[in-house]
Structure 1
Amino acid sequence: MNCNMGAITVSNLGKAYKQYPTRWSRLGEWLLPSAGARHKLKWILQDINFHVASGEAVGLIGINGAGKSTLLKLITGTTQPTTGAVHLEGRVAALLELGMGFHPDFSGRQNVYMAGQLLGLGVAEIDALMPQIEAFAEIGDYMDQPVRVYSSGMQMRVAFAVATARRPDILIVDEALSVGDTYFQHKSFERIRQFRREGTTLLLVSHDKQAIQSVCDRAILLDGGRLAKEGAPEEIMDYYNALIAERENQTVRLTERDDGKVQTTSGTGEATVAEISLLDADGLAVEVVDVGAEVTLRVVVQAHAAIPRMVLGYLIKDRLGQPMYGTNTHLQELALEAVAAGERVVYDFRFAMNLGAGSYSVATAIVSTATHLVNNYEWRDLALVFTVVNMRRPHFEGSAWLNPVIEIERT
């Protein structure tokens, strides 16, 4: 077997669209080519160069509008490049818009045959794979119902099951896996990991930090149609989060924590977070908290310069980086005036941990007003990581503990 099976090489790739000032300019350019071009080029991607080695897993991230979807279309061949080229070795399965090609009036089974043939499988091969596809999708009798009665999660299950029925040399997965239920996300991720162990090359496009970190060897950050940074997945994810926070203030720093994780901080540095901890009811630092338990988030801020007005904010995010809750001392009307250089301020935020079971992180921001866009003294991602477990409550779904008082009346 060719040891290069599964390699992706992208060289000098660029994509531009023609922009015409009026609707007649296009016609004019076409009728009178000698009069010269009447359009401007709008570049969506420029100078993109990277190589994914056979068997490697690379995460692709970018702020919306960075050109990710255009890049995927160029790699999968659904769009032609303006400059440069893409070279793929081996059989490719692309999970871009899962189930988008499904015909609503046909049954799931009929759609499996159509989708399978588009992926290059023969009818006999689909016949042979069908039991395995049905078993993986786990939608039971719905397989013979028209797709229009499916939920998006069910379409996703069937589409994923077909696209991965045979192990590809290259697997390209877009945000696709973010739909569907947690159980199926875990199951599909396990299949992706299995493919990786068997040598499949993976290109994963996602904003899911956990997904990128758990599966990828390396990450690539696209920003404004160019390749901004390549490196270790966690470092790139934090840099990306800081970029979003920092569009106004170009002072992003990456430092390695004791546990080897790279932490992103940004800001001008007149004040910094010296210590941060989560304390239980007895004042002891904890990393694991029971649902609903009373806790104190203690943040110690060190002022390095005189600060006319100081505001401290924190944001709790789930493992996917989705905000769960955030507030700051400006919103709570507790901003501090005239903080002196060298002053140390201890903030205690007491609250009940009414979050669902899962892994969470805390980001902190030291600013002067309600946002970090005026004076951003310090913004710190991953300042603290903790886990919530459910030890005493009945099982519940979701990321918030909103236990109801229930009244039922029967007449």
Structure 2
Amino acid sequence: MKNTIIKLASVVLFLGLTACQEKLDNNNNNSLGSISAVYMNSSNASVSFAKSTESGSTKFEVRMSNLRERNETITIAATDFFPEYNEKNATNYKMLPASEYELYEEGNTANKSTNGLLNITLKPGQASVQVGVRVRPLDDNTFPMGVKYAIPLRIVSASLPILSNKDVVVALNRPFKTSVALIKQGYALGVKVADNVQGSDEFTIQGMFLFEEFHAYNRVNVNMSLFQGEMLPYTRIDAGKIQVKNGGGDSPDDWAETTDIAIKKWVQITFTYKDSFLKLYINGKLVKTYQRPSLKVSPGMRINIENTQTSYSANRYFREFRVWNRVLTDAEIVDGLYLPADPDSKGLIVYLPINKKEGFKDMSKYDNTTIYRKGTASSPDGIQDGPSYVSDIDEATFTPTVEWKENIKFPAVGLETE
């Protein structure tokens, strides 16, 4: 009797498993015989506006993990997941009302909506679809620049399973005007960090530049650097590449290449550091990760911004120098590409907005000291290694050498005015 019960149970279990498998196969009618699911190809997108009076647009991609032999439907909807997103990513986004933008399907102009919801269909053999977002011009009085509006979109339903990467945040690169400083060859800045700044074994350091040239001191080699101090190894920047040295020698692994570094082109350079890993971001994108031990931020430390020696520098525009004693999230880095930082931002220990109104004053809550520096050599050529080729000068000597350019527009590729 006992054996009979066991046999009957085995048959029932087998039939149950077979039925489940048949159901799974029917629901996933895939010529490759594998299960498919839908997801967002990227978690971030950004809308750029050419002018404050014009609309802006962007697009993102919804994908399917495996091709299908039938139509699959997907519904995307504006969903306010910002409370948990902001908490996780240290951002401060607020949901833009659906009335201010339009969703549409690329290649199918008839499929569009203005209510924050869009239904799309992936046809047999179609692995992805591009979804467009078009945002109306935003009035500064109704939508103040100080509030960071964005569009949170989520795959809310589908005829296939939905993977965990189902969200995309559409950030708004709203037009912003400011003044910027043209710093001449042979001049540079620095900062002495206040003694009451809390030291840290992790940090973020950022600067935004537009180089008029990459000056070769011997007509071949460029020895222009970025940030110098306890928090970074020696760096070099040249057209299309950045070197982060590891000790005294040079190695091909020290270099990172990017087309975003070019003359007359704005570039925001960010380094983050934690657990011996130094990450390099260019214009918000992670370019390379280095392993560099024993870096830190210390109270009272000195940070030299760029190389001051005459033969190792060039004319460039400079703005928004920032240092945090914590690692910014990827979302925070993208969020702060060109807009001014909040001086009360958590962990912000150095902040030079560098505009005509504030000059080179540190605007953080700490009593940091801005340092003004000058190359002592009159020649723009030749090797000029060593401290004798640079000296600190007073603000009154430095500021007359600076040219302020006003009404500079961001976001922009080059030096544009509005």
For this structure pair, what is the TM-score category when the shorter chain's length is used for normalisation? under 0.3
Rg: which structure is higher?
A: 2
* Larger relative contact order (Cα-Cα within 8 Å, sequence gap ≥ 6): 2
The structure in which a higher percent of residues are helix is 1
TM-score, length-scaled by structure 2 = 0.26
TM-score, length-scaled by structure 1 = 0.26
